[in-house]
Amino acid sequence: MRELRILSPVGMLGYGFPEESFQEGMRRSPDAIAVDAGSTDAGPHKLGAGVGIVSRWATKRDLTFMLKAGCERKIPVLVGSAGGSGAEVHLSWTLDIVKEIARENDLHFKMAVIHAEMDKDYLRRKLKEDKVKPLGPVPELTPKDIDDAIRIVAVMGVHPHMKALEKGADVIIAGRSNDPAMFAAPGINEGYAPGLALHMGKILECGAMASTPGTTSDCMMGYLRQDHFVVEPLNPMRKCTTTTVAAHTLYEKSSPLHIIGPEGIVDVTGCEFKQETERSVRVSGSKLIKPDSCWVKLEGASMVAYRTISIAGVRDPIMINQIDECESAVRDAVSRYFKDIPMEDYKLIFHIYGKNGVMGELEPQKEITSHEIGIILEVVAKDQALANTICAFARSTLMHYSYKGRIATAGNLAFPYAPSDIPTGPVYKFNIHHLVQVDDPCELFPIELVEI
């Protein structure tokens, strides 16, 4: 069986990569170029708001290299989780960029567009058929959750990408996709072991992160062979080691020995990592355990509130030593002043960096040892006006609070920005994080073929 080569230019489309690394990858004669364009790492905002994770300029820059190289070498280009969250609005945004690149560079190719946004009526039927279950410690799905969701996407595995390749697609722009799917599809399509292909995809989807020094903003090549795969960074300043590759196998997983996806479970219990060359690592022993039934992950976001924040610094040691008292006093003042507004209509949150701003109540170090602290006042409320109002009151109260020993009566807070109060708009939550049972792994993901 011949060696199959997959080029991963970058860990996230739009994160950027050195042109020299990409060209070195092309000199290795890849059989496909694949990239992950999305994530839920930043929370539900991108899905709920319908906006991208990275800028249009950066997405276009990275895609231009990929599309031009793919057309020149006549190899497929696969993009998963288009636009960040992979819903219709994100897919359309990415397609506009693709068409613009094609016009400007006189590129011609057959493009497969794979849709991933969920039809709510379909999901309601599945719910009535008892074919929906929670994914992790979340409540059972309700009809109200479906109604409240602004957008719902299904997370496709390799099968829709494989189907698009079988239809002759030169370029695949897919909605929400499981991270390894784009990288594994070409190999599985050609008969390589699915466990190896998916494990290699797991390593490649983050670009050169599984190297040292690791980064998502550089290129990695995967070499898929009959009984193993090899990964190698394409920038000479980086190298893969058995430790970096094994460590990345553990990345973003609930189980250290299993990579769980729509295709089943990749069992890495018997995996072996060997140093192939000084800069590359050979991996063998990954095996796919196929499930008895097919379940697909769903992600849905609903809007729950509006947010306003105010950022300030404190350098007065007298105030720093009494910051808990200051916070308590501001909370009391807010509750008294807004006593006619139901408490469930708003929430006041203090993030105090230098004390416990990162870990909150879980912070084991209780004593403040820094000479300055940073405070983010956050208000989430039922509407933007109320969030603005309460944030302004809390900020001014804290700024002029008369703590014991205060010297600076003009104000206790240093504001880096004007205006000091920053409305950030709607707040979203993942209200759907469930699995739906399907008869066919492609049934939720219609494919549209377009000649560009």
**DSSP classification of residue 275:** E
Token pair belonging to 213: 């020094």
Backbone angles phi, psi at 360, to 5 degrees: 60, -135
CA distance 391 to 2: 63
CA distance 256 to 267: 10
Confirm if 153 and 82 have CB atoms less than 8 A apart: no
Q: Read off the pLDDT of residues 362-390 as tens digits, 9 standing for 90 and up.
A: 999 999 999 999 999 999 999 999 999 99
CA distance 267 to 255: 10
**CB-based burial, 62-98: b 16+ in 10 Å, e otherwise:** bbbbbbebbbeeebbbbbbbbbbbbbebbbebbbebb
Which ranges constitute the DSSP H helices of 120-206?
120-128, 143-148, 158-166, 181-189, 194-204
CA distance 105 to 102: 5
CA distance 134 to 112: 31
Confirm if 323 and 314 have CB atoms less than 8 A apart: yes
Q: What is the largest CA-CA distance in the chain?
A: 79
Token pair belonging to 278: 């000084």
Token pair belonging to 81: 């989780």
Nearest to 394 by CA among 351, 340, 426, 363: 351
DSSP H or E stretch at residue 258: strand 258-261
CA distance 165 to 160: 9
Helix (H, G, I), strand (E, B) or coil at 206: coil
pLDDT of residue 251: 87
DSSP H or E stretch at residue 232: strand 229-233
Reported for 222-226, long-range contacts at CB under 8 A and 24+ positions apart, including other chains, are 222/5, 222/6, 222/8, 222/183, 223/3, 223/4, 223/5, 224/3, 224/4, 224/5, 224/6, 224/187, 224/192, 224/196, 224/197, 224/200, 225/1, 225/3, 225/4, 226/1, 226/192, 226/193
**DSSP classification of residue 445:** -
Which region, left, alpha or beta, applies to residue 207 given φ > 0 means left and ψ of -120 to 50 means alpha? left
pLDDT of residue 100: 98
First vs last C-alpha separation in the chain: 33
CA distance 359 to 83: 31
pLDDT of residue 179: 95
pLDDT of residue 408: 81
CA–CA distances in Å: residue 313 to residues 35, 151, 167, 322, 354: 40, 38, 58, 15, 10
CA distance 138 to 132: 12
Q: What are the residue ranges in the chain where pLDDT is below 70?
A: none
DSSP state letters, 400-439: T---TT---TT-S-B-SSSSSEEEEEEEEEEEEEEEEEES
Token pair belonging to 148: 């409240």
Q: Read off the pLDDT of residues 147-182 as tens digits, 9 standing for 90 and up.
A: 999 999 999 999 999 999 999 999 999 999 999 999
